[in-house]
Amino acid sequence: MATTLKDIAKKLGVSTTAVSKALNDHDDIGDELKQEVRRVARELNYSPNSIARKLVSRKSRTLGVFMLSRQNKSEVDHMGYTFLHGIINEANLYNYDIVLFTTNSDFLEEKSYLDLCRERQVEGVIFTGLHLGDPHIEELKNSEIPVTVIDTELEGTNNLFVTSDNHFGMKKGLEYLYRLGHRQIALISGHKGAAVTKERFKSYHEFMQEKGIFKKDLVFNADYTQHGGFEAGEEIAALEKPPTAVLSMSDLMAIGAMEALESHGFIIPEDISIVGYDNIDITTFTRPPLTSIDQDGYDMGRSSVQITLNKLGEDVNFFEGAEKISDNKIVIKPKLVIRDSCKRLK
Amino acid sequence: MATTLKDIAKKLGVSTTAVSKALNDHDDIGDELKQEVRRVARELNYSPNSIARKLVSRKSRTLGVFMLSRQNKSEVDHMGYTFLHGIINEANLYNYDIVLFTTNSDFLEEKSYLDLCRERQVEGVIFTGLHLGDPHIEELKNSEIPVTVIDTELEGTNNLFVTSDNHFGMKKGLEYLYRLGHRQIALISGHKGAAVTKERFKSYHEFMQEKGIFKKDLVFNADYTQHGGFEAGEEIAALEKPPTAVLSMSDLMAIGAMEALESHGFIIPEDISIVGYDNIDITTFTRPPLTSIDQDGYDMGRSSVQITLNKLGEDVNFFEGAEKISDNKIVIKPKLVIRDSCKRLK
DNA sequence: TTGTACGCGTTATCAA
DNA sequence: TTGATAACGCGTACAA
């Protein structure tokens, strides 16, 4: 049996109130008693019961985190875990607990996301991998607790938003290729379900239009997986007049495309330049190492906690790297990480 | 304000006791009342307060998970997150919450691991990445709550243990190389702090002795990182009579070694065969794709939850794949995943 | 400076 | 079949 306030009180022949106050260092308690109480507390290996505390304070100090994914249960989702890593570390900093849900909306039957949150007395919730078209999205907009979504902007009043500046990222990548002399720049796109897909496509379209080099035949639709990228690569290889460069909306797709292209005799970057997105750690190990747009998922994770706790009234230190658009929106600027998969066009 | 039992009771003019019983489907309550209660509960969007429940049941239904790592805070630890993924999914299955700590023992000052557990009212705790020589290890042996450690066996009564069969794994890898005709098989070892290092070394030593081909000059000490592997690779390349094969205790080290060897003109697998350990997803992307020993971290994570909950008296379904040595020990058999980094010696 | 009494939301026991 | 009461461990208003 764990020791409680009562045990300490009994041992010292005082009331539990006195003990409680002493341990919480209230100023209306005697110094000698404080000393005594602390001594006995240590002696009995006392540690406060956070559950009781939460019940009485009616604060759970808990955030829910949903890692949504269509992937196989046993597969690891890179960006998701990068976000999570930042989320955990930041939440720990503020002494908040995290309850993690990996449930997919396909598996939810009776219970909605918010039901799960209510059950666990979660004070705020963070979503990663949320899909436009998720059947529960309307409910989230009217949530009574703050809902922070990474990479998807909802328009409810209690909806917070953390994203990477996709426009900026795409522009960085495209400008880099453009400056290397490329004009035929293909795009490998992710599935339309993700908000980022739309944004990134828009940026691509704008940039290419502006330069007068947009061709809709150079847009290939895939699904953010390596396999999808492979198929896009096959299509590109089969083109009569293949592009001189490819920008892919994810590294995995870029890697798939590289495989396909190489199997058709293309040499990278001599014959075709490739830029990926996400800068997952695999990019270091591909041949050639892949130039990629880094979203800084760790910082996005941290920011998502910061913006949520801020909404909950905590005194938060937002960190420098993030661009705080409003109390409801934070944008992180991605950066281009240049490796060896692109070459100047002769 | 969230609705409580009281609200429902008031609305129906009955006692909270009746409401509680109705919602929990006790058989000593009237069917009509049950119906009514459920209707109103749904109407008021009632959801039970798990904190109050936990307080009264004196069960937190929470497991602590420590992901220890010496790595940089912003780096993702592959095996760690693979374990975690299995842990989360399995815990959710049994309706247990997870409290995650990424704290490193270097950062703990006053509070020990168990202090953190006590504060959060954790019923059991799972460690990944625990180091022999961790200053808090003695305390863990005498823990009042079940302590499950992945990859490190402690000898306390409340200590549970999940591991991959390292002996089996090493033997698989070495036998494979041996059957390909290799006799000069170098070992790249991880740091001595990890229990797995010792085990794997022992297996290597035994195997090589048995075959009469052990040479202590072929053992290279590194630290499980890519950089360490690189340095070992340099040493191997500098050897007057380099080995024809290398077995590395981690994929990252194997990849580092490959880089070093290739930079010295070695062609893999023509000049030298390489086997890694962990089968992290990067192995698919190396050139050549790396043959590796797969620990199945996802299942190890699941098993660690199962063995912990079993100890806590839950009715657990242990799954088939795992070898349950005792109530305190589960061993998962690794498998060799053959790719293209090894070749038969001519 | 210390103690009493009560409440947080739920469940279990026992009485009605 | 239903309800009153107490208890889980802690914090806080108010009284002493």
Q: How confident is the model at residue A105, as a pLDDT?
A: 53
For each of chain B's 346 residues, which pLDDT tens digit applies? 688 999 999 889 899 999 999 999 888 888 888 888 999 999 898 999 999 999 999 999 999 999 887 655 445 677 888 899 899 989 988 989 988 887 655 555 567 888 888 888 899 999 998 888 888 899 999 998 999 999 999 988 899 999 999 999 999 999 999 999 999 999 999 998 888 999 999 999 999 999 999 999 999 999 988 889 999 999 999 999 999 999 999 998 999 999 899 999 999 999 999 999 999 877 887 889 999 999 999 999 999 999 999 999 999 999 887 889 999 999 999 999 999 999 999 8
| Mean pLDDT (whole number) for A221-228 | 90
Q: How confident is the model at residue A81, as a pLDDT?
A: 85
- Using the CA of A28, give the nucleotide whose C1' is nearest: C1
CB B145 within 8 A of CB B117: yes
Q: Please, which residues have CB within 8 angstroms of residue A212's CB and are 6 or more apart in sequence?
A: none
Q: How far apart are CA B269 and CA B295, in angstroms?
A: 23
Residues 57-86 of B with CB under 7 A from strand D: 58
Instruction: List the single protein residue with the shortest CA to C1' distance from C2.
Output: A18
Band of the pLDDT at A328, cuts 50, 70, 90?
very high
Q: How far is the CA of A14 from the C1' of C14 (A)?
A: 32
H-run or E-run covering B113: helix B113-119
Find the CB nearest A118 among B2, B52, B120: B2
Find the CB nearest A51 among B60, B92, B99: B60
Task: Work out how many CB contacts closer than 8 A connect A with B.
Answer: 88
**Sheet of B62-67, strands arranged across:** B97-101, B62-67, B124-128, B147-150, B159-164, B329-332, B322-326
Residues A144-192: tens digit of each pLDDT: 899 999 999 998 889 999 999 999 999 999 999 999 999 999 999 999 8
Q: How far apart are CA A316 and CA A160, in angstroms?
A: 15
CB contact under 8 A, B119 and A47: yes
Q: How far apart are CA B193 and CA B249, in angstroms?
A: 13
Q: How confident is the model at residue A80, as a pLDDT?
A: 86
Residues A261-281: tens digit of each pLDDT: 999 999 999 999 999 999 987
- Using the CA of B12, give the nucleotide whose C1' is nearest: D2
The answer to whether the C-beta of A10 is closer than 7 A to strand D is no
Q: Please state, in angstroms and as integers, the Cα–Cα distance from residue B82 to each residue in A81, A165, B88, B151, B167, following that order.
A: 10, 29, 10, 14, 21
Q: Return the closest-CA partner of residue B257 out of B220, B292, B284, B294.
A: B220
Place of tokens 């009569």: A240
Q: How confident is the model at residue A27, as a pLDDT?
A: 86
Q: How far is the CA of A7 from the C1' of C2 (A)?
A: 18
Residues of A in contact with B101 (CB under 8 A): 92
Find the CB nearest A102 among B88, B100, B120: B88
Q: How confident is the model at residue A266, as a pLDDT?
A: 97
For the CA atoms of chain A, what is the radius of gyration? 26
CB contact under 8 A, A97 and B120: yes
Min distance A206 CA to chain B CA atoms (Å): 33
Min distance B85 CA to chain A CA atoms (Å): 7
Instruction: List the single protein residue with the shortest CA to C1' distance from D8.
Output: B56
CB contact under 8 A, B285 and A286: yes
Min distance A47 CA to chain B CA atoms (Å): 6
CB contact under 8 A, B285 and A285: yes
Displacement of CA B61 from its chain's centroid (Å): 20
User: Mean pLDDT across chain A, nearest whole number?
Assistant: 91
| Mean pLDDT (whole number) for A297-305 | 95
Instruction: List the single protein residue with the shortest CA to C1' distance from C1.
Output: A29
| Mean pLDDT (whole number) for A85-103 | 87
Find the CB nearest B118 among A47, A76, A86: A47
Instruction: List the single protein residue with the shortest CA to C1' distance from D3.
Output: B15
Q: How far is the CA of A17 from the C1' of D14 (A)?
A: 13
Look at strands A245-248 and A97-101 and give their pairing: unpaired
Q: How far is the CA of A236 from the C1' of D8 (A)?
A: 67
Q: Return the closest-CA partner of residue A88 out of A113, A58, A67.
A: A67
Find the CB nearest B88 among A49, A89, A100: A100
- Using the CA of A7, give the nucleotide whose C1' is nearest: D9
Q: How confident is the model at residue A283, as a pLDDT?
A: 87
CB contact under 8 A, B51 and A92: no
The answer to whether the C-beta of B17 is closer than 7 A to strand D is yes
Which bases of chain D are under 7 A from a protein CB atom?
1-5, 7-13
Count H helices and E strands in chain B, helices first. 12, 13
CB contact under 8 A, A88 and B81: no
Q: How far apart are CA B124 and CA B65, in angstroms?
A: 9
H-run or E-run covering A330: strand A329-332
Q: How far apart are CA A262 and CA A268, in angstroms?
A: 8
Q: Report phi then psi at A149, rounded to 5.
A: -115, 130
Find the CB nearest B74 among A76, A78, A298: A298
CB contact under 8 A, A103 and B92: yes
Query: B86 to chain A: nearest residue by CA?
Result: A74
Instruction: List the single protein residue with the shortest CA to C1' distance from C13.
Output: B17
A73: pLDDT strictly greater than 60: no
Q: How far apart are CA A96 and CA A223, in angstroms?
A: 35
Strand residues in B49-154 grouped as ranges (E): 62-67, 97-101, 124-128, 147-150
pTM (2 d.p.)? 0.86
**Residue A286 CB neighbour total at 10 angstroms:** 24
The answer to whether the C-beta of B29 is closer than 7 A to strand D is yes
Residues of A in contact with B51 (CB under 8 A): 51, 54-55, 60, 121
Q: How far apart are CA B324 and CA B319, in angstroms?
A: 9
The answer to whether the C-beta of A2 is closer than 7 A to strand D is yes
**Residue A24 CB neighbour total at 10 angstroms:** 9
**Residue B335 CB neighbour total at 10 angstroms:** 15
- Using the CA of A27, give the nucleotide whose C1' is nearest: C1
